[in-house]
Chain A
Amino acid sequence: MNTKVFEVSELNVYIKLILDSDETLSAVYVRGEISNYKLYPSGHHYFTVKDKDGALRCVMFKGSASSLRFRPENGMKVIVFGRVSVFPRDGQYQMYCSSMTPDGVGDLYVAFEQLKEKLLREGLFDVSHKKPLPRYPERIALITSPAGAAVHDMIRVLKKRFPIAKVILLPVRVQGAEAPAEISAALKYANKHKVADIIITGRGGGSIEDLWAFNDESVARAVYESQIPVISAVGHEPDVTISDFAADLRAATPSNGAELAVPDITELRITLDQIASSIERSFMRQIELKREKLTALAGARSLTSPLAYIEARRTFAAALNDRLNGALKALLVKKRSATEILTASLDALSPLKVLSRGYGIAIRKDGLAIKSIKNIAVGDAFTLMLSDGTASCTVNELEEVINGS
């Protein structure tokens, strides 16, 4: 028998080592219902998962909790995954959860899917029914709670982007039993009295129960029946409600709804500048075209009305014509005589003319005209070209003449 006396912390560490070395406990799925759920300011979630016979303490640290796709709540049936270990300080074992998913589907989820299916079949979500939003709405109805961040977010965005628009708030409750009736009544009232060019209805984020009014059938129908275009802006990006489907446009958040509702004043100013310069450019170009046309027409003879002017120009043209003709004639005469002189001298230079005067041309076998005794040697044969024929010759003797002749 072991008689060792443990210190408390020693034993806790010993138990921790045993649990930590167990393979099953290092990665385990547990099914149960959430109770005693607490979210600490640190961002860590503490809760218990229980079934009818037992309970398991659980913790989910901030890092793991950030990947949660829903907000855990008491009574929710979930499957948690993680490892079981000991917290030595308390001597308590607990489950360190790294992920958590809803077990099966809840009543609300089923109700949501059933209503969605029903209204889809009725055509409440038909794209063909969706109305185009006005691009420059000057009256914007907000059907939302007058308290809370959502309404202020929307007003702030609308003011910044398009301060021209008047904001008309129709205050309603956005959660609780009365909310659906108030929201649909406000939608109908806004339509009956045509109070706005566009309606934004929605609220800030919350649990699925908080957002439930926007999954109400009467709200969905009122949104669908609205003659004024409706933007549905409920919760955060991943939250989707039935009224989102029925609306003409779904916004991810209330602020996003306000952004989608109105143009941005900065862009609008740029657009107006562009329009102004486009109008000016087109107009100036047209003026330019018209002016060119006018100039062309003014040049036409039929339009130059003062006869004196025509007469002057006609006389001038005639004089010009005479001068031109005279100059041309003189030029021709000059050119002609120059040509005659040139032809005569060319004729005199012609070798044929020379031959007729009793000269001959001695041509070597390779075709060269012999101009010097250096071109030829004794015994060479050559051709002598005369005015009426040729003679074949042979060189007998060569004698240089000193002074030429």
Chain B
Amino acid sequence: MEVEFLTFEQSMARLDEIVKILERGEASLDESLQLFEEGTGIVKYCNKRLEEAEQKVVRLTRGSDGEPLELEFQGNE
């Protein structure tokens, strides 16, 4: 799975997995190298997301079709 499509929850779960496999030390060198690269990539990706995070607040209302409609939340209503 491409790193960019992982949710934070999935990223952290995958990192947990990678750490465990590497700590067991049973993977082949090729596998370990792959896991090392994948793990470092996910950490970098997570840090980048934290770095660039900008909180979004929306106000959800029911659109005319009944589907959720996101509006800007001014915060002074």
Contact = CB atoms under 8 A, between A and B. Distances in A.
Interface of A: 134-138, 141, 146-147, 151-152, 155, 158-159, 162-171, 189, 193, 195, 197, 265, 268-269, 272, 275-276, 278-280, 282-283, 285-287, 289-290
A287 to B, nearest CB: 8
A290 B32 CA distance: 11
A168 B19 CA distance: 34
Contact of A280 (B12, B36, B47, B61): B36
B12 A279 contact: no
Nearest to B58: A168
Contacts of B2: none
Given A135-B9, A279-B39, A285 B25 contact: yes
Contacts of A290: 29
Given A170-B60, A193-B67, A147 B77 contact: yes
A31 B18 CA distance: 69
Contacts of A147: 77
B46 A169 contact: no
Nearest to B25: A286
Nearest to A151: B75
B15 A138 contact: no
B68 A195 contact: yes
Nearest to A276: B43
Contact of A169 (B27, B36, B49, B73): B73
A283 to B, nearest CB: 4
B53 interface: yes
Contacts of A165: 55
A292 to B, nearest CB: 13
B19 A169 contact: no
Contacts of A287: 29, 32
Contact of B59 (A146, A189, A269): A146
A290 B26 CA distance: 11
A82 to B, nearest CB: 44
B49 to A, nearest CB: 6
Nearest to B74: A146
Nearest to B24: A282
14 contacts: A136-B7, A136-B12, A162-B53, A163-B54, A163-B55, A166-B55, A167-B58, A189-B62, A268-B50, A272-B50, A276-B39, A279-B18, A282-B22, A286-B32
A164 B53 contact: yes
Nearest to A186: B60
B60 A138 contact: no
Interface centre among A151, A152, A167, A276 (most CB of B within 10 A): A276
Contacts of B57: 155, 166-167, 169
A153 to B, nearest CB: 12
A272 B47 contact: yes
B8 A138 contact: yes
A171 B35 CA distance: 45
Given A136-B9, A282-B25, A287-B32, 9 more contacts: A138-B9, A146-B73, A163-B54, A166-B56, A168-B58, A168-B60, A170-B60, A275-B15, A275-B39
B19 A282 contact: yes
A275 B56 contact: no
Contacts of A286: 22, 25, 27, 29, 32
A196 to B, nearest CB: 9
B23 interface: yes
Contact of A155 (B40, B70, B75): B75
A280 B33 CA distance: 10
Contacts of A134: 9
A135 B13 CA distance: 10
A135 B11 CA distance: 11
Contact of A193 (B33, B47, B68): B68
A158 B55 CA distance: 8
Nearest to A142: B57
Contacts of A170: 60
Contacts of A158: 55
B50 to A, nearest CB: 6
Nearest to A171: B59
Given A164-B49, A166-B58, A278 B12 contact: no
A396 B54 CA distance: 128
Contacts of A276: 39-40, 43
A55 B47 CA distance: 68
